[in-house]
Amino acid sequence: MPYPTLPGRKFEYDAGGGSVYYGNSPTDITAPITTEQMAKLNGIGNTSAVLSTNVWAGNGSRTLWVFLPEKYVVAGLGMIHNVYCTDSTPVSVTVAGSADSTNGLDGTWINATLPNGAIPTYMMDDDVWRDSIQPCTFSEAIKVLRVHYSAPNAGADYSSVNIYALHIYGVKADGQIPDDILFLDDDESGDPEFIRDLDFGDRPEGTTVTHRMKLFNSSTTKIANNLTLSIIDTDFTFSMDEGTTWVTGATITSLAPQGTSSSIIIKNTIPPPTQLLGPRAPRLEVTIGSWS
């Protein structure tokens, strides 16, 4: 059965200039998570927790702050976590955002609107990050997201919080970071910008599909130099010469202000039987050498 339509583009904060901090409560930032932890948090694994607390007769709560490099119009959250307490104290996952906070403690905070109701405290299935994305919006674009995983043990019992993944879906707000590289959908009329991640759909093993895209320099004044493209998945390759050669990495010397690249063909091949099938989250990364 096909998965639900994605609510927006997943922000790759581990590669896109974001940072993530953690603490015990929304008023207590302890430290940043490591680069390795941030990559795991933006991944899809459910066997090795990014943050884990398991205590007897103690507060097992944890809070994550995601600082984005620009304001973002959030539309949904993909999550893998387990929040638990053996006593009668309620456990919960609550979400807030801020458009003006500088350190996660100051500024004005807005509670998230969650159309599906409270976020489940147990989200651990292999594909829960994809088939159970939680609709989540705010009354305005935010620059800091705060998620509090509450397991406040009120007695001499056991409580735990295990956090594996946190994905943010949406689009950047209008007017944010004008000097940027955008992804355009070359298979759609007019080459619109992608408003959600490309989904290659539900297909049989042993099949291959392609999709065309382009890169666009959104700057009105600056040249983007030495763009490095790399795709991170063994079943995906791309071609910049109309399918003559297929590669996992390439470079573009420059893109002029408001310039568009030639067509890039993305190819996805699902291996023949004996391979595991399921949702995937590969990504095409574009690194800009310099602006001039």
pLDDT of residue 205: 85
Q: Is 250 exposed, middle or buried (0-12, 13-18, 19+ CB in 10 A)?
A: middle
pLDDT of residue 274: 67
**pLDDT category of residue 26 using cuts at 50, 70 and 90:** very high
Q: Is residue 2 part of a domain?
A: no
Average pLDDT estimate for 202-207: 86
- Residue closest to 161 by CA, chosen among 83, 254, 218, 48: 83
> What per-residue string of b and e applies to 252-286 under the rule 16 or more CB within 10 Å gives b?
beebeeeeebebbbbbbebeeeeeeeeeebebbeb
Asked if residue 66 and residue 13 are part of one domain, the reply reads yes
pLDDT of residue 101: 97
Average pLDDT estimate for 113-118: 96
Asked if residue 233 and residue 101 are part of one domain, the reply reads no
**pTM assigned to the model:** 0.91
**pLDDT category of residue 1 using cuts at 50, 70 and 90:** low
Asked if residue 270 and residue 132 are part of one domain, the reply reads no
Q: Is residue 82 part of a domain?
A: yes
Query: Distance from CA of residue 179 to its chain's centroid?
Result: 21
Among residues 138, 172, 206, which one ends one of the domains? 172
- Residue closest to 186 by CA, chosen among 210, 217, 220, 218: 210
Query: 226: how many CB neighbours lie within 10 A of its CB?
Result: 12
Separation between Cα atoms, residue 84 and residue 149, nearest integer Å: 10
- Are the CB atoms for 232 and 201 separated by under 8 Å? no
| Between 148 and 16, residue with greater pLDDT | 148
Ramachandran region, residue 194 (left: φ > 0; alpha: ψ -120 to 50; beta: rest): beta
Asked if residue 159 and residue 186 are part of one domain, the reply reads no
Total domains in the fold of the chain? 2
**pLDDT category of residue 17 using cuts at 50, 70 and 90:** confident
Separation between Cα atoms, residue 291 and residue 187, nearest integer Å: 28
pLDDT of residue 2: 80
Range of the domain at 40: 9-172
Asked if residue 218 and residue 149 are part of one domain, the reply reads no
Q: Is residue 40 part of a domain?
A: yes
Q: Is residue 215 part of a domain?
A: yes
Asked if residue 243 and residue 196 are part of one domain, the reply reads yes
Q: Is residue 27 part of a domain?
A: yes
Show the tokens assigned to 105.
């403690």
Asked if residue 152 and residue 235 are part of one domain, the reply reads no
Percent of the chain with pLDDT strictly greater than 90: 74
**pLDDT category of residue 57 using cuts at 50, 70 and 90:** confident
| Between 205 and 6, residue with greater pLDDT | 6
pLDDT of residue 277: 67
CATH code of 107's domain: 2.60.120.260
Average pLDDT estimate for 88-113: 94
| Between 79 and 195, residue with greater pLDDT | 79
